[in-house]
Structure 1
Amino acid sequence: MKLPIGIVGDIGGTHARFALLDEANMPQRLQVLAVADFAGPVEAMQAYLAASASPAPSAAAIAIAAPVHDGVVALTNASWSFSRERITARLGLRKLLLLNDFSALALSLPRLPAAELRQVGSGSPAPGATKAVLGPGTGLGVSGLLHHAGGWLPLSGEGGHCSLAPADPREAAILALAWREFEHVSAERLLSGSGLPLLHRLVATVDGRTHVPLSTVEIVARAVAGDDRQCVAVIDTFCALLGSVAGNLALTLGARGGVYVGGGIIPRLGEIFDRSPFRARFEAKGRFASYLATVPTYVILSPAPALLGAAQALAACEGCR
């Protein structure tokens, strides 16, 4: 590989992923760093470049788990706060593109190989139709991809912060408990790595079980092992609620090109997710159940798909500064 001129990054609330771009504009030399280990993105990128023995790149595209506007950017679920000017000056970049992490993830969808996707349920993608993506990681990201003039346009929004709605009396009881603690209960409040311990406590209360505090990693591990009934019940509830949110997203965007599920939690569930209520709840939209039955849903298995989307965005961004 020749000396790189570009670097791409995907910065979430817990991890920051970086890669160098090769001559074909493909990410190489992936490295995952802990956000908590660094004061900000400049320090993390400098550590990555030093470990890679790479010269300073001239261009960068950084996908960020936060709204991206001019001025200062602050991560939604971590303490990093930074500006475009500071990154450009400290790293000596000629071109810097900052974009929402799920906009980058959306851009990767047409380029993901079949081996990095696992379909859950039925349905087939309509050619050229809108695609949707959501993913519970530290938070809950949401985006979409629109086909226009022979290319793809990603959406940039904060759909994870839309209000969460119950679909049955048990979920209504869970949400009622959450509303006692929070004025607004968003989808991200419960459907995320940061929200899973809260959901674990609420489900225990509604189901009349003793609550033993557990971390997100412990809840997922115990559910996958199948040796903790409470954790299994929590993950089933998690997947059911996520299915409802995904179905809403598909209807809102008209995502007949498919709904893709990314993030750090769902791929770790493996076949448990496939057997969960997710797909049934995705389709459970009354008169539009038959419409959603034709829309495929996929789990993204790629280790760093947002980097692929960031590379695509950088290559297309002639006006980046």
Structure 2
Amino acid sequence: MTSIPSIESPWLVADIGGTNARFGVVTEPGGRPHQVKSLTGADYPDLASAIETYMATTSGVGRPTVGGVAVAGPVSGDRFRLTNASWDFSVNATKQALSFRHLALINDFSALALAVPYLDHNAVVPLGGGERNTDLPVAVIGPGTGLGVSGIVPHQGMWIPLATEGGHVTLPVETDLEAQIAALLRRRFGRVSAETVLCGVGLTRLYHCIAAIRGAESVIISPADVCARGRSGADPICVETLQVFCAMLGNFAGNVALTVGARGGVLIGGGILPRMRDVLQHSEFRARFENKAPMTGYVSAISTELIIADSPALLGAAQWITQWLAQELTPTTSEGALV
């Protein structure tokens, strides 16, 4: 049974990360989410209670019976657990608790990737390379609470999202300083993944490592403090931390481009980089992205862009519902779940 969103029967869309849970409603076919609000995930025991709280704040719309939820973690089957938070729930039980007819889950970065074809020039900041082309595979990465990686592949007028856990690959290291950083982190964590460094708390880890290597005194500092002190130039260790972070992210992004074959473009999302876009634009990000000999010519033609739009994964979640219902896909696949 198909469902067309309307004011009387909207679609609920959500983007559930390790820290924040963002919600919106879609009230017309192809419409963009509105009445967008953000809740702190830790304030709620589960997805259903957070949705109920959000719905109590909406006005002028009916109660949804169809939902599309982007979640930070791998999606397969009925059971889902957030990778970097405590929510652990049954998709079917949640659907029943909310009296929904359909509830579609998808990885949050797969949802972000599905939003890419709908991002206009005001939603992104160019970081070098050619023009984005969604007729070719596109990759999306993003440091936030964790490190997300996904992409889309065009197929018969639609886009197929790639469900990956690429943030958990081994951290790419290129310079002597980065090798020293990795060695320090290895003593603490054993294996060092890309997400160990290229995420919010990774900024703090990177700051302490660089301070130790430089013989400088370090203090307990939040990722936001690292950003603020680095952008202002008030702390040279923070300045270097941001530069190393951007360089390593460029290296990682180039690896993703080669692995996915993302000739249509690589976009950077997540909650960290929009707050330090000036640093990113003047960093080694693009140089390290292209430093992939003998494939430098291949990656140098690929566009890189920073996504600055608010809550774009909500748009991708709506697109996911559309594709599920239009194609009458099977109840579960490796890319997501619909019940």
Tell me the CA shift for residue 71 of structure 1.
Answer: 2.9
Q: Are 1:274 and 2:281 counterparts? A: yes
1: CA distance between counterparts of 2:34 and 2:55? 12
Measured after TM superposition, the shift of residue 57 of structure 1 is 0.8
SS in structure 1 of the partner of residue 174 of structure 2 = coil
Q: Report the equivalent of 2:257.
A: 250
**How far is the alpha carbon of 1:55 from its aligned partner?**
3.8
Tell me which residue corresponds to 1:310: 317
Does structure 1 residue 27 correspond to structure 2 residue 7? Answer: no
Aligned to 1:98: 105
Identify the match of residue 150 of structure 2 among 131, 140, 143: 143
Please list every run of at least 4 consecutive aligned residues from structure 1 whose deviation after the TM superposition is greater than 4 angstroms.
Answer: none
Instruction: Find 1:116's aligned residue among 114, 119, 123.
Output: 123
SS at match of 2:318: helix
Deviations 1:12-60 (A, max 9, x none): 0010000001113321110011111111111111110001145421100
Displacement, 1:126?
Answer: 4.6
- Mapped partners of 1:47, 1:311: distance in 2: 20
Query: Does structure 1 conserve the Cα–Cα contact (< 8 Å) formed by 2:134 and 2:154?
Result: no
Partner of 2:53: 47
Deviations 1:291-312 (A, max 9, x none): 2111110000111110000000
With over 3 angstroms needed to count, the CA separation of the structure-2 counterparts of 1:59 and 1:127, relative to structure 1, is closer
Q: Could you tell me which of 192, 198, 205 is aligned with 1:191?
A: 198
Q: Superposition pairs for residues 44-193 of structure 1, below 5 Å?
A: 44-53=50-59, 54-126=61-133, 128-193=135-200
The separation in 2 between residues aligned to 1:247 and 1:104, in whole angstroms, is: 21
Q: 1:58 & 1:214 partners in 2: Cα distance?
A: 44
State the 1:125 CA deviation: 3.2
State how far apart, in whole Å, the 2-side matches of 1:126 and 1:157 are.
21
Equivalent position to 1:206, from 195, 200, 213 = 213
Residue in 2 aligned with 1:16?
21
Take 1:302 and 1:127, find their aligned partners in 2: how far apart are those partners?
18
Contact 1:260 1:297 survives alignment (8 Å): yes
Instruction: Assess if the C-alpha contact under 8 Å between 2:149 and 2:165 holds in 1.
Output: yes
- The two structures have a TM-score, normalised by structure 2, of 0.92
Q: Give the direction of change, closer, same or farther, for the CA distance of 1:233–1:94 in structure 2 (3 Å limit).
A: same
CA deviations over 1:88-136 (Å, ceiling 9, x no partner): 1110000010110011000000011111011012323356111000000
3-state secondary structure, aligned to 2:125:
strand
Q: Does 1:264 align with 2:268?
A: no
C-alpha separation in 2, matches of 1:223 and 1:20: 38
**Number of the residue aligned with 1:7:** 12
Take 2:148 and 2:130, find their aligned partners in 1: how far apart are those partners?
23
Gaps of 5+ in 1: none
Shift of 1:229: 1.0
Amino acid at match of 1:81: D
Q: Structure 1: which amino acid aligns with 2:46? A: G
Asked if 2 retains the 8 angstrom alpha-carbon contact of 1:4 and 1:21, the reply is no
Q: How far apart in 1 are the matches of 2:8 and 2:240? A: 51
Q: 1:198 deviation in Å? A: 1.2
Percent identity between the two aligned chains: 42
TM-score (norm 1): 0.97
Q: Unaligned regions of 5+ residues in structure 2, if any? A: 1-5, 329-337
- Count of aligned positions: 321
Opposite residue 8 of structure 2, the aligned amino acid is: L
